[in-house]
With several copies, the nearest count.
Chain A
Amino acid sequence: MSDLDTFRADTRAWLEENCPAEMRQPARGDGDACWGGRKFEFSSDAQKQWLERMAAKGWTAPMWPADYGGGGLSAAEAKVLQQEMARINARPPLSSFGIWMLGPALLKFGTEAQKKEHLPPIVRGEIRWCQGYSEPGAGSDLAGLQTKAVDRGDHYIINGQKVWTSYADQADWIFCLVRTDPSAPKHKGISFVLFDMDQPGVEARPIKLISGYSFFCETYFTDARAEKKNLVYEENKGWDVAKYLLGHEREMISGMGLGGGGGKPLPAMAKDAVGEEADGRLADPLLRAEIAMFEVRSAAYRAQAERFADEFKAGRGNPAQPSMMKYYGTELNKRRNELVMAAGGSDALEWDSEESGGGKKARDWLRSKGNSVEGGTSEIQLNIISKRILELPS
């Protein structure tokens, strides 16, 4: 038996023993996710237990070094863990921007002290992070941000406003882009700082979205304080960290594929609404054609996602490729949601009825419109492809 086989057997046994039954059912939505943090209320004992057990092994961040609380697994082992979790339908023990975003940045750009201080609480789900990037006047033009940080010796005083801060109202700490040199060219005067959200100068107001959800906040800083020791990388070099994280984010989003997984396949959903002809074809022939065309693109994109992942693993990927994936994947997901709505007809329009699961189809459809905006609009991705891959002149 190879080491990996042993690892698999051990992992399987451990999961079997430690994953609560309740945590082996598919999450029904965002409400079932475990986000951790100081303000988080566990939805059940099982959820708490599952987080604690996984965190103790460092498996909430399986590939992070054990020194920082991570699992210390190799890529191959991490894949085995993922497979074994999938086998029993185990839910992710922790959803965390700390793990997805800040961690990778700290591992690359942070000091030893920063890693030691911030990574372990992330792994344990004790501190929940949010991302302070976009501002009202700086969306696609992220580097145009205006939030100012003034140097006060051992700390900065921060004033300004962020927008699209995911779950800022529920986060404990923020990783934030601030302008430390207003006189430098716009990319050159930005720093990447960390600070506590529980302080008088910070206010987060949830934004109501067209889907009726409120994932995001407007976040206001009035003389908020960030310690100098929490400056990541050098002063005025925050754009390097931001660029790294943006690329990482795009990769993550593009890796998400078509989303909406687990639901009924489109053709079946459509048949429920419109019925079928004698020979089994969908009774609405134009909808059928649209679905058939979508299904081809969708299958092709799955192949592309596989190719993309394989190439990245092998270090062969074009660095602008995530832009292409992000563009194509999100546009496809929007299309999918349009077809779900068309297939669902008037039933799918219901917004809060029980049968509609509180308007799940309609809300997911509206939510999907954000896919091609967040993490860089489709237009920005097309600009990137055009410049960096096709090398078209500007």
Chain B
Amino acid sequence: MPLYLTEDQEMLRDSAEGFVREKAPVAHMRKLRDADDGTGYDPALWREFAEMGFTSILMSEDEGGLGLGHVEAGVVMEEIGKNLTPSPLLSTGIAAVAALKHGGAQHRDKWYPKIAAGEAVAAIAVDEGAKHDPAATAMTAARSGNGFKLSGRKTFVTHGHVADLLIVAARTGGSAGDADGITLFAVEKGAKGLKADPRRLADASIAARLEFDNVEVTADAVIGEVDGGWGPLNALLGAGRAAASAEMLGVGQGAADITVNYLKERKQFGVPIGSFQALQHRAAHLYAELEVARAAVLKAQQLLDEGSEKAHKAVHVAKAMTGWTTTLAVQEGVQMHAGVGMTDEYDIGLYMKRGRTLAELFGDANYHADRLAREAGY
């Protein structure tokens, strides 16, 4: 498969581009933020996303979905990134849907239709500390009758305070640091003993800190095998990281685009500042980094879609590379905007904030580069 978008994928991109730009440009995000909205997304827009098929993009046609893959999911995520659209698509339509593929049919039968209809939102509860480290999962799931009791804390759970479905990693065996012994659970909204404490983040998105105090779930809640959650968890993380990379790429590309435009418009000393060679070279360097990051993202998506063993490594590369590149893009963007870049009135600062949140989501660049090194044996 050639490493560029097929005609169908380009058509999807054009349609997603137009749709997101019209329905949810940066002004949409500002509106939610300035209204101090406590939901974290716009439910009406979420239903429109569903109507476009975006929420069911990864579901098979039999399951009522579009039957498409990670490349297509990424195409939509990139537009979301470019427009800073607050949306539960990543956690719901991509990460949760990917996780549920590995569980029993009861999960898919229950959740896929709701997600496809834009009637349900899912959240991913993996992190327990300030830095992503899934193997360190310490939350316990103790056997209790036919089911389990979950106890512990989760953090950085985007949409966790409003989610209908939580995908939760907990430990049924082993100890923190082991891959074995982790089990993935589907926990429903309103479960007894579950407390969600929503926190506004720098980018105005909302992530919850969750507290599980002996939250009871049935055996049916297990996604995949007991003690064998590492597999589905990695499917979830692979899909989530690829999607986060695509969104990150969109943020970086969006930041670069508005910055290059600003360079053409803003005048100092009687000429456009884009005519200064020092800024030209920095913009050109950024362009090169973004192109290389784009290739890394597409490669990861294609390999995921092929079910290749190489996908795992490629996803690490994509998340690390977009982490660095988008960080560079927003830093250069704010600096080249100079004074106005520091104001809330201009959008570039919003890209910087969003980039930082996405940089942490599912592991930052250092995490992924380190994992690659360890897996390569050095």
**Are A and B direct contacts in the complex by CB distance below 8 Å?**
yes
A residues with a Cβ closer than 8 A to B are: 134, 137-141, 144, 163-164, 207-210, 212, 267-268, 270-276, 280-282, 284-293, 295-297, 299-301, 303-304, 306-308, 310-311, 313-314, 316, 321, 324, 327-328, 334, 338, 341-342, 344-353, 359, 362, 365-366, 369-370, 372-374, 377-379, 381-383, 385-386, 389-394
> Can you pick out 15 interface pairs between chain A and chain B where the beta carbons lie within 8 Å of each other?
A144-B268, A207-B345, A210-B350, A267-B373, A292-B369, A297-B292, A303-B296, A303-B299, A328-B292, A345-B360, A345-B364, A346-B131, A379-B281, A382-B284, A392-B260
From A208, A288, A372, B345 is in contact (CB under 8 Å) with: A208
In the complex, which of the residues A144, A341, A346, A394 has the most CB atoms of chain B within 10 Å of its own CB atom? A346
The main secondary structure of chain B at its interface with chain A is helix
Residues of A within 8 A of B260 (CB): 390, 392
Inter-chain pairs besides A210-B349, A349-B356, 15 sampled, C-beta below 8 Å: A144-B268, A208-B344, A284-B131, A297-B292, A307-B299, A341-B356, A344-B130, A349-B360, A351-B201, A370-B342, A373-B338, A382-B284, A383-B280, A390-B280, A393-B272
CA separation between A373 and B331, bound complex, in Å?
Answer: 12
Contact A164 B202 (CB under 8 A): no
B291, CB-defined interface residue at 8 Å: yes
Q: Looking across the interface, which residue of chain A has its beta carbon closest to that of B2?
A: A310
Residues of A within 8 A of B127 (CB): 346
Residues of B within 8 A of A134 (CB): 339
Contact A394 B378 (CB under 8 A): no
B283, CB-defined interface residue at 8 Å: yes
Residues of A within 8 A of B345 (CB): 207-208
Contact A210 B342 (CB under 8 A): yes
Contact A352 B200 (CB under 8 A): yes
Q: Looking across the interface, which residue of chain A has its beta carbon closest to that of B364?
A: A342
Pick the 5 closest A-B CB pairs, nearest first: A345-B130, A210-B349, A286-B366, A304-B295, A267-B378
Q: A295 and B360 in contact (CB under 8 A), knowing A164-B339, A273-B131, A346-B127? A: no
Residues of B within 8 A of A342 (CB): 364, 366
B residues with a Cβ closer than 8 A to A are: 2-4, 127, 129-133, 155-156, 199-204, 207, 260, 263-264, 267-272, 274-281, 283-285, 287-289, 291-296, 298-299, 313-314, 316-318, 320-321, 324, 327, 331, 334-335, 338-339, 341-345, 349-350, 352-353, 356-357, 360, 364-370, 372-374, 376-378
Residues of B within 8 A of A362 (CB): 201-202, 353, 356
CA separation between A353 and B353, bound complex, in Å?
Answer: 17
CA separation between A144 and B272, bound complex, in Å?
Answer: 14
Residues of B within 8 A of A144 (CB): 268-270
Residues of A within 8 A of B366 (CB): 284, 286-287, 290, 342
Residues of B within 8 A of A365 (CB): 356
Q: Looking across the interface, which residue of chain B has its beta carbon closest to that of A214?
A: B344
Residues of A within 8 A of B342 (CB): 209-210, 369-370, 373
